[in-house]
Each structure stands twice: as C-alpha cells, then as structure tokens.
Structure 1
C-alpha cells in the first residue's frame, strides 16, 4: 500500500497580544511624614510572551509569584513600570482617554472571587449591563434588557434571574454572572484571574467547560491563571510557569507536563496528587529546600538558584534567558521549548 501523505503542519495563529520585558515595581518607603523610598517589590520583572488568536495560555506558579499583578497589568488596572503590551501591534501602555477606552472593550477580565467582584447592591441586570453604560454603541438603551437576558442564557443561567441580587446565587452561578459581564462587549481577549479557585471541584468543572465552549463559540483568546495544575492542563494550549516575577518555562501542555526541563517545573509537577497507586509509587518526589525569597530582595542571577539542586557559581552571576536550551535545539526534540535555566534537562533527579 502507498504511504499515507503526512498532514501539513497547522499554520501558526497570529498573535493578538504581545508582551515584551514587562515589569511592575512597587516602592517600599519609610517614614510617616517625610517618606523616602528604601527599596521596591519586584512583582513582575521582565516577562515576555505572545497570546495567539483563539488560544488559551495558562499561567501557573506559587502564591505571590506575580500572576495576579500580570493580569491587572494586561487590562490596564495597573500601569507597568517598564515594558510593552501590544494589542494588534499597538502599545496600549502609552494610551489614555478614548484610545484606551476602545482597547479595553476588547480586553476584559473575569476576577478570582465571585463573592467580592459583584456589587451586592446591584441587580444581575445592572451588573451585566453596566459595560453598556460606558460603551453605549454596543447595545442601544432600549435593547439592553434583551441583550442582558441573552448573555444570561449564553452562560447557562435563567434569563428571568435578571432582577435578582448576587446574594441569591451560589458561587458557581456568581462566577457565571462575572463571565457574562466579561462577554458583554464582545471582547477578543479575556483575562481569567484564577476564576475557579474559590469554587467546589464539581463546580470548577462546569465553569471550565463553559469557558471552553464560549471560546469555541466566540473565538476568544484566554490568559488563564490558576493554582490547580490539572485544571490548567485541561483548558490550556500552552502553559507558562512563573516564579518570583519571571517566567521559568513556556511551552505546550505536552511539553510542560510530560517533558519539563526547568528544575522548578519538575518540582512543581512532582507535587501533583496521583490517584493511581502504581503510578504514584514509581514517581520521584522532589522536595525543595528553603522558602521562596522575598520579591523585595530576590537572589542575583537565577532567582530559583537558592532552592535548586543544580545551582552552580554561574547561576549567581548570569540571569538565564527564557530560551530553548542549546542541548534541545534539534528540530522535533521532546523538550524544544523555552526554559530559563543554564542546566535545563528533561527528567533528572531531585536534591539528594
């Protein structure tokens, strides 16, 4: 039989959001009346990536590593200290007024806590319809009630709930209301800042499946931030691992979960619970020494070096770039993805 012709590779999707060397520093001051700066917390420090059209980029990492600060920077709730955020080629960090308002219509956010992100004094109809007050061109005043009811139906809620208040809903239902509000202006990008971390496991699955369905229906691009590595693997096309304000590793779900090359990623994945006893017994558990350093005084060179079993003198001097390690630059290699480590390698034993 003749050999089956191989399928051509899928064309790369165009980037809708490009982030270059993004940084956010919060000054530390002393004194009550005459304040003077004595340092700075480096919440985000030199982050670069692309978000492609119709994809989900998951971001994982420990608490305090800068994930939520990154999310707030991308929607311009915080102004960056340095770097660029380009939407469709335009640097939105330099925009203000009407130009910034137009961009914000296309980049929306779903917040972490459905109990505090909704105004308890407003009805569901007012909460979801509030974006139309700022962008009246999206929905004429006489058509807003119908539009809100359509959005409730899209996220799986009864349109008749339009006059209810947030306290009359469960946590999962409130998060659906937050998602409906995010969809109101027909955005191209939605930043999801740990949208399921405050929900029960069964409800998490419902919200994640809803996000996946909406992405397919409306061609949305997601930046999905979460603690739960299993949730991120389920929904993400690519995954970025963040540590102390920087990306440690970036690749597809298969590359990150099956072939991690950065020691921090390997330690993080070794802590994921495994339900199968046989698989659990054969897996290496990597225990890291020490605590996460303070972002106000991060280590020189590689920020992970104080907890890394591979660290050498070079790691204290040179900052490892987020790039494909030289040992894995052969085309089609299992680990051909960026990793910010001088000694990156697939597998490898932990500290002994």
Structure 2
C-alpha cells in the first residue's frame, strides 16, 4: 500500500463529530442492542507533589488520559498493552476503586461515577472483579466459605442467612472445586484453585459484568487453559460480559470478541479479534503482534520482526502529539504537533474491509503479521 501523504487527513470533520463517529465505528454489531457499559473520555491523573509540610503539585502521572469504549451483554472485550500503559487503572476506575479525574462510565445509561452510598452499592453488585494475584486477593485468615460468602454479608438480600452455606457450596461446584473444601484456607490450595475461588466470589452476587485484571498471568500454562475454559463456560451459562485485561495476546484472541490496544494511557486501536490480529493498522499493534512467540520455525522465518527503538516515555511527561511517535518508524513532523484521533483511516472509509476499524494513527495502513 502507498504511504499517506502529509496532507492526507485522517478525519475531515469537527472533533466532536469525529469522537461520536469513532465511538459508533468501534461498537459491536447492531444485533447486540444497546451497550451495557459505555466508557467516555475516562481520565485518571495521579498528582506529583513536592515538599513535606507545604506540599505543592508539580505535575501529574497521566495513567489514563481519555479512554472510550463500549461493552455489550454477553461480550468479552480484551484490553492489551505493555506494562504501565494504564490497563489495571482502567479496571479500578470501572470498579470505582479509584476516583476518576474526569470522564463518564455509563452502566445501562446511568453515570456511575456520580454515585455514592446505597446507589453505588447497588451498582457494584452487578459489576464484579477478578484480581491478578490469586493469593493476595484472598484473606489468608478467612476460610473459603467466609471469602465466597462475604458478598452475602454486604448484600443480604441476595441470600438469606440460613441458606448461605448451601449457596457457597453451589458456587464451589460451579467453578470445579469440591464443595467439601468450604472450611479450608487459601494457603491449602494451588494457584489455579485459588483463582477459581476468586471467580466464585465474583459470581456470588449474580453480576452482569466481570472485570478480569490479568486473571491467568500468575498461573502455569496448563492451569491457564483450565481457567479460561471455565470462564467461557460460565459466560455462556450466566450470559456474563467480560472486560479481560492481559499481556498474553494469544489468550486474549482466544477469549475475546473485540480487542482494544492501549499505549501510554490511550487506546491506539480497537476492533474485532480478526481485525486486530489479522489486519492491524496501528504501528504499535503491529509491533506487539510481531513479538508473539511462534512455535513453527517456518512461520518464524517468514515473519517480519518489528523492533521498537527507545523506551516507553514517562506517563508524567508524555510526548506531544502522537504518544507513540518517539518509537514509531512512520513518525513525521505532523505526529509531533497533531494528536491522532481514534477514527477509521480515510483510505478505508466506506470500504468493506477488515482494515476499516478505528486506529489512532495519521498514517495507518494494514500490515499482515504472522502471529497467533
């Protein structure tokens, strides 16, 4: 494909219109209906201060800096990116474990970032989380029965007090653990079993959305497969929606319907699993895919390996314009002065091609990477 010229505009409408069209573009197919979760321009800046007694702010770590996406009922949205790109911070913001600097999170049309007290408690019942470390996320002084049953103490309307033990045993059985393990402690289980306990705790209140923050990264490969298969089975059984955060691109493709690629606090590209993996248009996505290990030696020889130069910039002082430009082989003067918006590139607009998905790059073009 020919390179875009410097004058070839990625968009040709006002910023407000562009943003709305971009959100429409990376939405799931129409048949899914309205999104169950809508994230709009989510921002989280952690202040940097100086001084001991008289503290003053001298800057901010821009962990998340304008992230938008939709999640549909029964769908899995994968979020990938390097360490430090803001994936886990997004998860905490969606759970309101961190307070957003700005932006909106709509759950069934209601902005949950404005909620507090009972209203927030009611929403949290429907949005649960599975944490990365299956050991530190479980209280070592509590039995499995107490850990899984704790949500019932917070939301007693879900299960009467006399019925909670039976409910916990049912949940253990659902995630593939012996119900008789109810009186054991976390240290008596393997890593995979502990993650199953975390999943059971997440399922206790019959949520509609589960946010999975690297739920299998601490597990062995064989155990990873078991947990992923369990999550897919539970999704079909309970019609769950997942936000699945991970580093492993092969696992993300296996479980996700759509994928968002993050870089330095922003979304670089969003599309279906086929669009992202087989027809990536953003240089960062292409570099990530080229780094995926491939067991077949013939494929390894044929594949172009993209080596990025330099280090990831500090989120406290991100580059102007495009944040990826300091490591990008396509960077030009325009990239330093004009921030690319998440939109369908001009060359693909109106075309029935998998490359016609949103990408935050002035010079986006399709590049096939033999990866996963």
TM class by smaller structure: over 0.9
Is 1:56 aligned to 2:84, yes or no? no
Structure 2: how far apart are the matches of 1:201 and 1:95? 40
Structure 2: how far apart are the matches of 1:254 and 1:174? 32
TM-score normalised per structure 2: 0.90
What's 2:4 paired with? none
Q: By how many angstroms is 1:66 displaced?
A: 0.3
Three-state SS of the structure 1 residue aligned to 2:63 is strand
Three-state SS of the structure 2 residue aligned to 1:26 is strand
What's 1:36 paired with? 56
Structure 2: how far apart are the matches of 1:187 and 1:334? 33
What's 1:155 paired with? 175
Moved over 4 A (4+): none
Is 1:225 aligned to 2:245, yes or no? yes
Residue segments in structure 2 that go unaligned for 5+ positions in a row: 1-28
TM-score normalised per structure 1: 0.96
Q: By how many angstroms is 1:10 displaced?
A: 7.0
Three-state SS of the structure 1 residue aligned to 2:128 is strand
Three-state SS of the structure 2 residue aligned to 1:59 is strand
Q: 1:189–1:348: structure 2 CA closer, same or farther, 3 Å change rule? A: closer
What's 1:325 paired with? 345
Three-state SS of the structure 1 residue aligned to 2:173 is helix
Q: By how many angstroms is 1:14 displaced?
A: 2.5
Three-state SS of the structure 1 residue aligned to 2:47 is strand
1:85-104 to 2 correspondences below 5 Å? 85-104=105-124
Q: By how many angstroms is 1:333 displaced?
A: 1.2
**Paired residues, what number?**
341
Structure 1: how far apart are the matches of 2:63 and 2:312? 13
Residue segments in structure 1 that go unaligned for 5+ positions in a row: 1-8
Q: By how many angstroms is 1:330 displaced?
A: 2.4
What's 1:114 paired with? 134
1:1-352 to 2 correspondences below 5 Å? 11-347=31-367
Structure 2: how far apart are the matches of 1:127 and 1:334? 45
Cα deviation digits, residues 210-265 of structure 1 (max 9, x gap):
00000000000000000000000000000000000000000000000000000000
Relative CO higher for 1 or 2, CA cutoff 8 Å, sep ≥ 6?
2
Structure 1: how far apart are the matches of 2:185 and 2:322? 49
What's 1:4 paired with? none
